[in-house]
Amino acid sequence: MAIVTPLKKMIQEIEIKYRSAVSESTWRKITGSINFINTYQYLTKQFPINGEYDFATGDTFVDGIQVFEFDAEIINVWAYNCVNGTSGTTQLDLKVKPKTGGSFTSILSVKPSITTASGGFVHFGVGDTKTGCTAPVLSTTNVNAGDAIRIDVISTMVNAQNCGLIVHYRPR
């Protein structure tokens, strides 16, 4: 069975007036609009590290946590860095902890990293290829209501400024 193309189409008043026939065209618009919402609706959690971040590595709970109000699917993780450091590599990790207990564990099979070769003002997401960057790879995409995520700093460039992760997710 084919999926109706997700298109945002406005329904005209004449199509739903009293005693008007609901045509296949109207149902196609309704279905396409629902599929549009299901495909393109998302929420964002940003984990910024503002200013110079040449601090001790191994920091956890950087910029707090995000708790999910509903079952969700993570659809992308973006990493960014504004001002490169003079040496080293910045590497971040995204971890999840189930509401039911346990500990924070990485949901990335490949953690995003940025080197001085990337140049300034770089951003990249899952599947991207950029010089001096390693794109994140998600090992799991589903989180449940009440689960929490956080970022940890694995390593940092010396004298670098303004980096972080942006997580895009949608209800499932």
pLDDT tens digits along 93-149: 999 999 998 999 999 999 999 999 998 899 999 999 999 999 999 999 999 999 999
Q: How many domains does the chain have?
A: 2
* pLDDT higher than 80, residue 75: yes
* pLDDT higher than 90, residue 2: no
Together in a domain, 29 and 100: no
- Domain that residue 34 falls in: 1-41
Together in a domain, 17 and 68: no
pTM of the model: 0.83
- CA dist., res. 128 & res. 114, Å (int): 13
Average pLDDT over residues 44-63: 78
- CA dist., res. 33 & res. 26, Å (int): 11
Q: Find the Cα–Cα–Cα–Cα dihedral 105, 111, 116, 122, rounded to 10°.
A: -110
Together in a domain, 65 and 103: yes
The CATH number assigned to the domain holding 121 equals: 2.60.120
- CA dist., res. 84 & res. 43, Å (int): 28
**Residue 12 — pLDDT band, cuts 50, 70, 90?**
confident
